[in-house]
Amino acid sequence: MTRKAIFYHAGCKVCVSAEQALAHALDPAALSVEIVHLGEDRGRLAEAEAAGVVSVPALVIDNQAFHINFGASLADLRGTV
């Protein structure tokens, strides 16, 4: 059985580069990766925040957020900065 991972990003150059280099490099036999573009799907911002994401790009595996480089904060995406 594969575990689920969610890769959150905002579509910026840093995010797209991380998606191409990391999210697509993960073994699909071990992890089922869902890609979530928070710039287009702002309805999932609260979900990302609840998972521990504070900036994107970020990968969440087993309820643990791994922040990759820095593209944008969730506050930037909400427009609350």
**10: Cα within 13 Å, side-chain hemisphere:** 21
Say what the pLDDT of residue 69 is: 86
Strand order across the 55-61 sheet: 31-37, 3-9, 55-61, 64-73
The predicted-structure confidence for 49-64, as pLDDT tens digits, reads as follows 999 999 999 999 999 9
Predicted local distance difference test score (pLDDT) of residue 36: 96
What percent of the chain has a predicted confidence (pLDDT) above 70? Answer: 96
CB 71 within 8 A of CB 10: yes
Residue 8, pLDDT above cutoff 90: yes
In degrees, rounded to 5, the angle at the alpha carbon of residue 22 between the alpha carbons of residues 6 and 33 is: 30
CA distance 62 to 33: 12
Q: State the pTM of this model.
A: 0.89
